[in-house]
Amino acid sequence: MKKLIFLQAVIVSLLAVAAGCMTTGARRGQAVAPADYDETIRVACVGDSITFGAGIKDRKNDNYPVVLGRSLGERFEVRNFGVSGATLLKDGDFSYWKTPAFKAATGFDPHVVVIKLGTNDTKPQNWKHADEYTADYEAMIDHFAALPAKPKIWLCSPAPVYQTRWGISEKSVVEGVIPKVQALARRKGLPVIDLYAVLSDKQEMFPDKIHPNAAGAKLMAEAVEAAILGK
């Protein structure tokens, strides 16, 4: 058991290094420069309950997209398109593709898209479709990339899972979702925001072991802002 835990820790560390290298490269080539835009810069935060802000006491004011918007300032319009329970998988039990939020995010015609989906995909009834995850993720990337605004797109690794609940599995996040996200990002030439690393060793910020509280959402917002602005 100790050997297994050690190996998982090594895997996560290597993934974090890879994500860091990828994000550094993105800072050079993909950072958003407000001076390049003659209109308000629209940012779409696509995701699940963690993006939505489930479990945060003052969700309306403290979910990560709202915190991000306040920090970015008036040149940006940040909208929260998070949906609790949503999967990236088209064949998931509650596919993001079939939600009004997906349609709304599309209609928003964003200049920036931040995708954080994958946590709910690890549930057993969804992860049986794991072989479809990469293709479905690529289809979502291509969908947003084809919008008129030609948005810059960031992918996010899922947050840590501090206790298996509702079928959500840390093992599937670490050994399944994260490697798939990293591999797809490399192939598509897209940056990854490593929210797994940002929120690791922060169990105190996860009251229900799955969803970060306001302090965790603030860390997420800071990481996303740093990626968008190339800090």
Q: In this predicted model, what pLDDT tens digit does every residue of 125-143 receive, in sequence order?
A: 999 999 999 999 999 999 9
Give the integer Cα–Cα distance in Å for 149 and 154. 15
Q: Domains for the chain: give ranges and CATH numbers.
A: 2-28+40-229 (3.40.50.1110)
The pair of three-digit structure tokens given for residue 5, joined into one six-digit string: 């835990």
The SS3 assignment for 64 reads helix
* 29 band by pLDDT with thresholds 50, 70 and 90: low
* 30 band by pLDDT with thresholds 50, 70 and 90: confident
What would the pLDDT profile of 97-125 be if each residue is shown by its tens digit? 999 999 999 999 999 999 999 999 999 99
* 229 band by pLDDT with thresholds 50, 70 and 90: very high
Does residue 15 carry a pLDDT above 60? no
The pair of three-digit structure tokens given for residue 6, joined into one six-digit string: 């050690």
More confident residue, 10 or 58: 58
Where are any strands of DSSP class E within the chain? 41-47, 76-82, 112-116, 152-156, 192-193
The SS3 assignment for 77 reads strand
Name which of 210, 177, 164 is nearest 55 in CA terms.
Answer: 210
Does residue 4 carry a pLDDT above 70? no
Q: What is the 3-class SS of 170-216, one letter each residue? A: HHHHHHHHHHHHHHHHHHHCCCEECHHHHHCCCHHHCCCCCCCCHHH
Sequence-distant (6+) residues with CB within 8 A of 26 are 154, 190, 191, 227, 230
The pLDDT assigned to 45 comes to: 99
